[in-house]
Amino acid sequence: MRQLTLIAMALTFACPGARAQAPAAKPVPSAENGRKIYSRAGCYACHGAQGEGTNLALAIAPPPVELSAMISYMRQPTGKMPAVPIAAASDQQLGDVYAFLKSLAPASSSESLAGNADNGKKLFASYGCYQCHGHQGAGAATAPRIAATALSLTAVIRYVRAPTGQMPPYTSKVVSDQDLADIYAFLKTFSPPAPASSIPLLNP
């Protein structure tokens, strides 16, 4: 009996297929891939380009919950958010999105910058912002309305530094935080557009 046991042990170590396979290492989350998925899936439409939140959905950068909780919520969300089945985005892909959201800096001291609207108007023209966003930031075919933006200054600076879509990035060497604060102050001098419900022609 002892001999049979020794033979069985010898066969176990000699045969690679009989050995227990070591678990495969989990892929390292990629923030860059997460950024692409976040943009491609249209998450920015509700949560903002930098996860800063909008009037449609809350801020999610940095993530307010652990990855497992975020995945569970996205699979079975509450409210108006549509579910994200695994066929649309794997757990690994959602992990990449999570890594992207974690890479975004929280609100910074840029909010304390005092903007000069008059100088911002000049900078808006000199930097050529009007070419895509219109002379008063009302938007055009190539870019959305940014006048009277609901975004915070920090969110605007984040987006200008690392935009999505076709807008080129503007580093701090090209446009300083102070210049952006001035442009922001200029954009905030405009009133938000009237709601559709207040326009008679749109409410027959």
Are both 134 and 93 inside the same structural domain?
no
Residue 41 lies in a domain: yes
Are both 99 and 113 inside the same structural domain?
no
Q: Tokens in use for 119?
A: 């100088």
Supply the range of the domain harboring residue 94: 31-103
Are both 124 and 167 inside the same structural domain?
yes
Are both 82 and 147 inside the same structural domain?
no
Are both 96 and 155 inside the same structural domain?
no
Are both 81 and 117 inside the same structural domain?
no
Over residues 63-110, the pLDDT tens digits come to: 878 999 899 999 999 878 899 999 999 999 999 999 999 998 665 667
The CATH code of the domain that includes 79 is: 1.10.760.10
Residue 3 — very low, low, confident or very high, per pLDDT cuts 50/70/90?
low
Identity of residue 124: F
Structural domains of the chain, count: 2
Residue 200 lies in a domain: no
Are both 113 and 183 inside the same structural domain?
yes
Over residues 137-184, the pLDDT tens digits come to: 999 888 889 999 887 888 788 889 888 778 899 999 999 999 999 999
Residue 201 lies in a domain: no
Are both 181 and 117 inside the same structural domain?
yes
